[in-house]
Amino acid sequence: MTQDAPLALDIRGLAKRFERPAVDGLDLSVPVGEFYTLLGPNGAGKTTTLRMVTGLLKPDRGSISIYGIDALADPIGAKRITAWVSDEPMIYEKLTPLEYLDFVAGLWSVDGNLAASRARDLLALLGLTPHAQERCEGLSRGMRQKVALAGALVHEPKLIILDEPFTGLDAGSARMVKQALRARVHAGGCVIMTTHILDVAERMADRIGVMAEGKLIADGTLDELRRQAGSGHASLEDTFLALVAQDAAAA
């Protein structure tokens, strides 16, 4: 990451406590035009962090800036340029994919004709055109996930945040989704994603962050992480496990 690059996301001292600290004074910066992947063991605080960024959870303390907008002071402004896709596709069973995209476009106040054109393109891109006018209740889990993803893209957000987006997707669908996300990054957007599928992170991410116990314990390109872990040319899986083990030993 270059120091001068404009930041898509800038988090400072973010903290959230439930029964115990879930996120503990987190600092994280992601520049514009980057595909960033957040890794970590279960309960590391990844999803909590991302839910705070998208305005779904209120932090106990800290600051969140999205493309220069203070997300805590101006949540509506921040939400206008952000999209969120959770691991469990939450869509309306009684709407069709086309109607769902139409509804999302309505929420984000996208022009009607533009929304219709984007919806058609997205459904075609994700192989959903044959199901465009069927109710979502009849779609498989993978198809629902793609509908949710199309919903995140229909208002052309600058920042896309995804929590385990490849859960339930077949290989072909996963490739389509990866291409769609990569295209968004090339177009100047920013994608932040959590995943437990380390192969995907290794191949797609420009930069990888590793969280444990609510803190960012490592951050950088794959080579930078390898150096930090002292793992030579090891795979991301080995590097990740080494970093988590080092952190546990240090604690």
- Smallest separation, CB 77 to other proteins (Å): 7
Size of the site for other proteins (CB under 8 A): 42
The token pair at 40 is 């970590």
Residue 54 backbone dihedrals phi, psi, to 5 degrees: -85, 0
The nearest distance, CB 104 to other proteins, in angstroms, is: 7
Measured from the CB of residue 118, what is the shortest distance to other proteins in angstroms? 10
* Subset of 62-81 contacting other proteins (CB under 8 A): 76-77, 79-80
CB of 5 to other proteins, least distance (A): 25
Give me 90's structure tokens.
């939450």
Instruction: Copy the structure tokens of residue 39.
Output: 């890794």
| Residue 44 is a binding residue for other proteins (CB under 8 A) | no
DSSP annotation string for 135-190: -GGGS-HHHHHHHHHHHHHTT--SEEEEESTTTT--HHHHHHHHHHHHHHHHTT-E
Per CB under 8 A, 167 contacts other proteins: no
> Applying CB under 8 A, which of residues 29, 37, 54, 145 lies at the interface with other proteins?
54
49 near other proteins, rule: CB under 8 A: no
Strand order in the sheet with 215-220: 82-85, 159-163, 190-194, 35-39, 207-212, 215-220
User: Among 33-41, 82-90, 121-129, 225-233, which window interacts with other proteins (CB under 8 A)?
Assistant: 82-90
Tell me if 158 contacts other proteins by CB under 8 A. no
Residue 13 touches other proteins, criterion: CB under 8 A: no
Choose, by CB under 8 A, the member of 83, 123, 216, 222 that binds other proteins.
83
Q: Which is nearer to other proteins, 31 or 89 (CB)?
A: 89
Give the span between the Cα atoms of 102 and 107, in whole angstroms: 9
CA distance 161 to 174: 16
Residues sharing a CB contact under 8 Å with residue 5, sequence separation 6 or more, in sequence order: 31, 32, 33
Q: How far apart are alpha carbons 8 and 81 in whole angstroms? A: 10
| Contact residues: other proteins, CB under 8 A | 54-58, 76-77, 79-80, 82-84, 86, 90-96, 98-99, 102-112, 115-116, 133-135, 137-138, 140, 151
